[in-house]
Amino acid sequence: METLIEKPRVVTVDSPDRENIQTGIAKAAGALTFIAGLNGGWLGPLIQPIAKSQNLPLDQVGLIVSLLCGGCFVSQALGPKILALLGGKRALITGASLLATGMLGLAFAKGLIPLLFMAFLAGLGTGINSIAGHVCLLAFFREKGASALSKLNISYGVGALIAPQIVMALAALTYQSIFIISAALSLAVAGFLTTLPQMDREMHINKIEGATTPVKESFLSFFTLPMALMAAVTFLYVGTESSAGTWLFTYMHDARSASDKLASLAVTSLFMGLTLGRLIAIKATVKFKPSKVTLVAMSLVVLAFVGLDLLSATEHLALLLALAIGVGLGPIYPSMVAQTAHLVKDRPERAASVTALAISSGAVGGILMPGITGQVLARIGVEQSMVFITALSLIMLVTFSLALLSIKSQAK
C-alpha cells in the first residue's frame, strides 16, 4: 500500500553539475545584487532630474524608492512559496525579468502613478532576487553564513559606489538612459541563468535523502521575541541606509551648499564605505562573533551621523563622515540576516521562513523611511531630515542590544 506522505525530490545532479550550479547561482545572485546596488546608488542623484523632467515635486518623486521597496516586501514575504514552487534558478530568472521590465518602464513612464507602478514592479523583481540569492547561499555555505552573505552584499556596495559617478559621467544623457542600462544588465543575467544546469527545486532547503515531508507548521508556532527584535533591527537598518542613500545628495546640496559634484562624491563615499565595511566583515565575522561586529558597526554609524549633524564640516570632513557611515553600515545587513537565520539552526527547514522574515522586515523599512524622511525634508527642513535619520540609527543600536539580551535570556 502506497504511503500518502510523499518523499521530497532528492538532488540527482552529479558532483560536477552541482558545483556548476552552485558557482553559477552565486555569480548570478552577486550580479543581481550589484544591479540592485546600482539602482540604490543612482536613484538619489536621479530624483532631481526626474522631478524636473516630469514637473513633479521632489518629495513625490522620492516615493519611487518607497514603492520599489514595497515591491521588494511583497515578493520577499512570498519568498518561501516562490522558492518552493520555482527553485533557486527559476526564481532568479523570474526576478531578473521583472526587474528589467520595471526599469524599462521607469525609463519611459510619464506621470507619477506610472512611475510608481514601474518602481513597484522593479521592486518585485529585486525582492525575488534578494530572497532567492540569500536563501541559496545560506544553504550552500551554512557554516559561514555571515561571511558568505557579506561577500554577496559587497556586490550591492560596489554597484551603489559607482552609480553616482555613472550618473555624473552620463550627465549629458537623459535619466532614461540610466534605467535602460539597468534593464539590459538584468536581461543579461537572466540569459546567463538559462545556460546553467537544472537545479532540483528542493536544493535550497537541504532536504535529506529518504526524509519524509514534514508536517506543515504555522510560522507563529516558532515565532519568538528574539526573532521579532531582530526583524525590527533589520527594519531600522534598511530604513536608515535607504533614507541616507536617497537623501544624502539633497542634504549636501541644499543644507551644505555643496556642488553637484561634491554631493555626488558624498554619496559615492557612503557606498565606498559600505563596500569596505562588508570586505572587513568577511574576515571579522569569522574571527569574532557576528553580534560583536554588528555592535561595533552600529556604534560607528551613530557617531558618524552625529558628527555630520553637528560639525561644521569642511568638504573633506563631510566626505570622511559619509565614508564612516558607510563603513559602519556595511557589516550590518548580511550579519543580521545570518544571525536571524541562526536562531533556527537546529531546524534548517525553517531557515527560508525566518530568512524571509528578516529580509521582508528590511523591505518595510525601505518602504516607509525614505518617504517619511522626504516629508520631514519638505515640511520641516533639510537639516532636520538628517537628524531624523540619525535618530533611526540610534534606535537601531538600542533595539539590537535588547535583541541580544533577549537571546541570552532565552538560552538560560
Q: Which residue has the cell 519568498?
A: 79
Specify the pLDDT at position 297: 95
pLDDT of residue 204: 43
Instruction: Give the count of beta carbons closer than 10 Å to the beta carbon of residue 26.
Output: 18
Q: Under a CB-based contact definition with an 8 Å cutoff, are residues 400 and 102 in contact?
A: no
Domain locations in the chain as residue ranges: 15-206+221-411
- Contact status, residue 88 vs residue 137, Cβ threshold 8 Å: no
Rounded CA separation 235/358 (Å): 8
Using CA atoms, how far apart are residues 327 and 275, in angstroms rounded to an integer? 7
Q: What is the pLDDT of residue 210?
A: 34
Low-confidence ranges of the chain (pLDDT < 70): 1-20, 140-148, 171-173, 198-222, 312-314, 345-346, 348-352, 411-412
Residue 236 and residue 395 in contact, taking contact as beta carbons nearer than 8 Å:
yes
Contact 98, 128 (CB under 8 A): yes
Quick one: pLDDT at residue 236? 95
Give φ, ψ of 212 to 5 degrees: -95, 160
Pairwise CA distance, residues 271 & 40, whole Å: 10
Over the stretch 28-45, which tens digit does the pLDDT of each residue have? 888 898 998 888 777 777
| DSSP states along 356-380 | HHHHHHHHHHHHHHHHHHHHHHHHT
CB contact at 8 A, 403 and 343:
no
Tell me, what's the pLDDT at 46?
81
CB 61 within 8 A of CB 118: no
Rounded CA separation 192/27 (Å)? 10
Would you state the pLDDT for residue 1?
Answer: 38
In this predicted structure, what is the pLDDT of residue 68? 87
Is residue 241 a contact partner of residue 329, using CB atoms and an 8 Å limit?
yes
pLDDT attached to residue 340: 82
Distance CA 134, CA 146 (A): 10
pLDDT of residue 338: 80
We find that the CATH architecture of domain 15-206+221-411 is Up-down Bundle (1.20)
pLDDT at 11: 39
Q: Using the Cα atoms of residue 286, residue 302, residue 135 and residue 44 in order, give the sign of their dihedral.
A: negative
| 182 within 8 A of 103, measured Cβ to Cβ | yes
